[in-house]
Amino acid sequence: MGKRLLVATLVAIGPLVAFAQNLITGHITDVRTGEPLIGASVIVKTDKGRGVVTDVDGNFKLETKVEAPLTLKVEYVGYRALDVDVYDFDEPVEIALIDNSNRLDEVVVVGYGVQKRKQLTGAVTTVKNDELLNTSTSFDNILGGAVAGLDATASSGQPGASVNIRIRGGNSINAGNEPLYVIDGVLLYNSSSATNAGNSVAGTNFNPLASINPSDIESIEVLKDVSASAIYGSRGANGVIIVTTKSGKHGKVKVDYGYSIGVSSVRKRLDVLNAEQWGELYLELATDAQKKASGVTPELVKTWGEGTDWQDALFRTATTQQHQVSVSGGSDNERFHISGNYTNQDGVIRGSGFTRLGARLNYERDILKNVTVGLKTSFSKSTQTGSQSFRGQSNGVSGLLELALRTSPAVPIYNTDGTYNYANPFEAGDFVRNGLTPNAIADLSEVDAQTRVDNTLVSAFAQWEIIKGLKLRTQGSVNILNTRQSVFGPATSQIGFNSDGYGAVGSKRWESDQVEVTLTWNKKIGNIHEFEVLGGYTYQQEKSERLLGSTADYANDNLGYQSLQSGSQLIATETDFVTSVLYSGIGRINYSLLDRYHLTATLRADGSSRFAKNKKWGWFPSLGFAWNVNEEKFLKNIKWIEDLKLRASIGTVGNQEIGDYTFLSTYAATHYFLGGIKNTAYYRSALGNDDLKWETTTSYDLGFDFNILKGKLGFVFDVYHKKTSDLLLNIPVEQTTGFSSQLTNVGNVTNDGVEFAVNATLWQAKDLTWQVSANIAHNHNEVTSIGTGQSEIINGNQTIIRPGEALGTYYGWQFDGIVQTSEDLKSVPAPSNKPVVEYGDVKYVDQNGDGVVDQENDRVVLGSAQPDFTYGFATQLRYKSWNLSLNFQGSYGNKLYNQMEQALESPNASYNASTKLLNRWTAENPSTTIPRAVAQNNYSAYLDSRFIEDASYLRLKNIQIGYNFQPKVGNNQKLGVYLYASAQNLLTITNYSGYDPEYSGYVDRGTYPASRTFTFGVKLSY
């Protein structure tokens, strides 16, 4: 009976066992953004017919009779397919796919359209890195180290300051070297002059791009060679950066919110003397009269100890907070993206900061089957506070940072009652008035300086597909920058010191109006021929108007610049209006043969109002060719080669960034008194040139793209040559003209370089993905001609422009040690700034052997600000729900003139000095590097090789660790949560002795230093 029951039971449950199903659940996301992928395909490789697609949240449920372990095959359009091993069914499977950023079918944004990467003939790099975008208040900050051949250096560490970008070297001397920015089709040239109302004391370093929220950006394309950039003609000589902001996607409405808070501190401090050390130096330097007036004695100095740390008071621990919110979505015929953001960033120097409040609306609608209209609009209100600038007398000091650094540590910041101390007994010259002196720390608090910029950018388009393949597109845009620069300094401040208070307000309205009409025809004939023909017309007008007023001698400081009429002395009132127009015709043909051979021919004609009547028009052609070698029969069967493309291009682009009206003879107003009556007269202020024309840059590029192992390893290589002709230079003219120079087209500059980039997926599995990328670039910059009228141009006794040398070449005396007591003083060449040589003085090389070291005959090239090469490295590691990313940036071989160090090593009886002077030359300490202490040494009068420093560096620009999870909320809905912590500028390896080696200028005289920042944040997605 028992046996029969057992048999019956087995017979009953057998079919159930046979048809039992295992349930696999999981979630599929983008490895970079963490966003769910909707409609991804998931199948069991050994169970044919068993497959599902992910839902709107990226989730899937798959039943299979196959027992674990098993392998899932996951596929999604535009992403690399992935095999995932599943060992049990207990936990959901988390899968992250990598987009096909190096695959041939990826669509890349190019000028006036898009193009498959496979068919690109130009050198184009795509930047997509949401982790870095989260850590920056301006998107141009993220480009350094991310793109081969792109050199990004900060002009200042002040929040909201500009970043100087050079793509494949600098082409021009007097015209602009910044790339063209294209924001959603709107052409912008990034120049702080657009937001400069002429109030220099309030600061002139606001970055217009800082008003664009980085979190609104979808992708950035960098167009480096002429085949890619020639469609922009006169605007494309320095490369093009195309920025595409986020748009809504079909499907469920998505809400995102992000918050971050960061803490910043200065990365490095300079070593200066404490009070007792400085007092001992003072006793060596000061005259008897100075010692008597100050009352300083050796006994008093011994009681000073450490004294006041002015540098510590200058810097602070600063905080940054950011809020981001966006709502996006769409239906079958419309897409939208709405976002808002708020940033509040304090600077590491007291009194400085940056705030931004912004909003964006991107909307598209298919009003007919073949007609689409769209609107992209953004508004931001940004304010940059704090200024370290001086007004009027500087007493040989560059600004508040240097004044704070060099004020004697024997002088207190505050009086005993807590008020600011304005009595410095060691100060002299311009900074003493009625026994009072400026106090740098007081100025950082008491001087009210701000630059406020309201940025409105509106772009609207309509696109009509007339017939299949033929599209007419019209786009109009307006960009308006309203700037207000305000500053007020009380009578105790440096800017108000000699005028009993000073106030100024400047306002500027800059506007750019743009209209584009393009007609594009796409045609494919079988599998042999494919055409894209583009023709169009563009118009852009820029105009600006400015007003500046300033007064002094205030009886009441309470209202500041809000009441300029309170100042009894009218200093200046200035107004101006400037306008320029650019008319353009554009044409481009893209042709592909057998989807293997690709040709791009471009022609653009530009007419600019910035050039003389008969020189307004320029013609800019280019030709590009690409060959997909892997499609040839001899390589097609080699499966591990996914892509091998050779590229070549040639073409000419121009540069119109020279300012307005430079070809005209202009006149300016002046005033004079006659018979006690003030009169106005006009004088010729500039010598015109009727032959002024375009600078043109002719470029050649050869390169290849090579991807293997199903795209897991990719290489990009380029070699290029650029020659800029008809340089705009100021050359000497006859004195009979009444002028010393005239702007003329003469001279040439060349840039020759090599770029190499590699991307690799080192590991890709169910739980672990590891990617790395690296790039390196070398650019050789050389001036080849500056015309026939001159052999060299010397700028400010610091740099020289000379054929055979690079732009930014330093020119000065060669340091030759310290004069020792064993030497014959008569045999030591005497420098022209100190004709009597003494033991312990600096020696310089007498280049021509005439016994005198002078500026005319003994200066030599001391190096260049141009790097030998720049490089970057990045790695991203994902393990289950954790991710880690690191980004490095570096530069090698570039020099920087450390003028601050020169000032600190040139002591006097008024200001503090470097601790290097503790090792100064004495008879008992015969130093070979630091001269003796003498107040009138004139060492700072001229440039010498001691202060041309190696500014090479390697910087860990960003490190970030994050964690993704999805708790359930509401009606069993999942909330995407991403927690992260990051650090910026965590590590910098350099031999440069100043605050920061990453500086875009040629002379570092107390530049606002970069900061180290630790950030913590959260992103929520629903």
- Predicted confidence at residue 7, as pLDDT, reads 42
Euclidean distance between CA atoms 885 and 702, whole angstroms = 32
- pLDDT higher than 70, residue 1: no
- Predicted confidence at residue 282, as pLDDT, reads 95
- Predicted confidence at residue 14, as pLDDT, reads 44
| Single-letter amino acid, residue 143 | L
Euclidean distance between CA atoms 115 and 231, whole angstroms = 14
Domain membership of residue 628 (yes or no) is: no
Q: Examine residue 69 and say whether the peptide bond preceding it is cis (omega within 30 degrees of 0).
A: yes
pLDDT tens digit sequence for 462-503: 999 999 999 999 999 999 999 999 999 999 999 988 889 999
Domain membership of residue 995 (yes or no) is: no
Q: What percentage of the chain exceeds 70 in pLDDT? A: 95
Q: What is the pTM of this model?
A: 0.88
Q: Mean pLDDT check: name the lowest of 5-9, 426-430, 688-692, 936-940.
A: 5-9
Domain membership of residue 840 (yes or no) is: yes
Q: What is the residue-wise DSSP string for 947-961?
A: GEEE--EEEEEEEEE
pLDDT tens digit sequence for 165-203: 999 999 888 888 889 999 998 988 887 788 888 888 877
pLDDT tens digit sequence for 909-955: 999 999 999 999 999 999 999 999 987 656 667 899 999 999 999 99
Average pLDDT, the chain: 89
Nearest to 149, CA basis, from 867, 913, 953: 867
Structure-token pair, residue 279 = 């007092």
How many angstroms separate the Cα of 258 from the Cα of each of 32, 121, 309, 329?
16, 39, 39, 18
- Predicted confidence at residue 17, as pLDDT, reads 40
- Predicted confidence at residue 719, as pLDDT, reads 98
Domain membership of residue 447 (yes or no) is: no
How many angstroms separate the Cα of 120 from the Cα of each of 234, 631, 640, 776?
22, 15, 22, 22
Q: Cβ distance 545 to 194 under 8 Å?
A: no
Mean pLDDT across the stretch 309-319?
96
pLDDT tens digit sequence for 321-342: 999 999 999 888 899 999 999 9
Number of structural domains the chain divides into: 2
- pLDDT higher than 80, residue 766: no
Euclidean distance between CA atoms 764 and 79, whole angstroms = 13
Residue 431, CB half-sphere, CA atoms under 13 Å: how many?
Answer: 25
Q: Cβ distance 917 to 810 under 8 Å?
A: no
pLDDT tens digit sequence for 562-580: 899 999 998 878 899 999 9
Euclidean distance between CA atoms 594 and 525, whole angstroms = 10
From 40, 69, 97, give the residue that closes a domain: 97
Helix H or strand E encompassing 221: strand 217-223
CATH number at 43 reads 2.60.40.1120
Mean pLDDT across the stretch 867-877?
95
DSSP 238: T
- Give 712's contacts (C-beta < 8 A, 6+ positions apart): 760, 761, 764
Q: Mean pLDDT check: name the lowest of 133-147, 724-738, 971-985.
A: 133-147
- pLDDT higher than 80, residue 250: no
Where are the alpha helices (H) located in 270-416, listed in sequence order? 275-285, 288-294, 298-301, 310-314, 400-406
Q: Cβ distance 1004 to 899 under 8 Å?
A: yes
Domain membership of residue 45 (yes or no) is: yes
| Single-letter amino acid, residue 543 | K
Of 817 and 92, more confident: 817
Euclidean distance between CA atoms 719 and 420, whole angstroms = 60
Mean pLDDT across the stretch 898-913?
93
Pairing of β 22-30 and β 93-97: parallel
**Three-state SS sequence of 9-63:** HHHHHHHHHHCCCEEEEEEEEECCCCCECCCCEEEECCCCCCEEECCCCCEEEEE
Nearest to 124, CA basis, from 214, 212, 219, 191: 219
Q: Cβ distance 629 to 706 under 8 Å?
A: no
Q: What is the residue-wise DSSP string for 479-540?
A: EEEEEEEEEEE-TTSTTTTTTT-EEEEEEEEEEEEEEEEEEEEEEEETTTEEEEEEEEEEEE
| Single-letter amino acid, residue 790 | Q
3 state SS of 299: helix
Euclidean distance between CA atoms 113 and 102, whole angstroms = 19
From 97, 125, 143, give the residue that closes a domain: 97
- Predicted confidence at residue 986, as pLDDT, reads 95
pLDDT tens digit sequence for 443-468: 999 999 999 999 999 999 999 999 99
b (16+ CB within 10 A) / e for 922-931:
eeeeebeebb
- pLDDT higher than 50, residue 4: no
How many angstroms separate the Cα of 95 from the Cα of each of 112, 166, 798?
36, 39, 58
- Predicted confidence at residue 790, as pLDDT, reads 78
- Predicted confidence at residue 130, as pLDDT, reads 58
Q: Cβ distance 780 to 752 under 8 Å?
A: yes
What is the band of 32 on the pLDDT scale with cuts at 50, 70, 90? low
pLDDT tens digit sequence for 785-818: 988 767 888 887 899 999 999 999 999 999 999 9
Beta carbons within 10 angstroms of residue 716's beta carbon: 22
Domain membership of residue 821 (yes or no) is: yes
pLDDT tens digit sequence for 54-89: 887 788 888 888 888 888 888 887 677 788 888 888
Q: Output phi, psi for 735, to 5 deg.
A: -65, -20
Top mean pLDDT of 161-170, 251-260, 536-545, 829-838 is at 536-545
Q: The domain containing residue 828 runs over which residues?
A: 815-857
Beta carbons within 10 angstroms of residue 555's beta carbon: 9
Q: What is the dihedral of CA 840, 846, 851, 854, to 10 degrees?
A: -90
- pLDDT higher than 70, residue 834: yes
Domain membership of residue 914 (yes or no) is: no
Domain membership of residue 86 (yes or no) is: yes
With vertex at residue 39, the alpha carbon angle to CA 37 and CA 42, rounded to the nearest 5 degrees, is 95
Entry field: residues in the chain: 1022
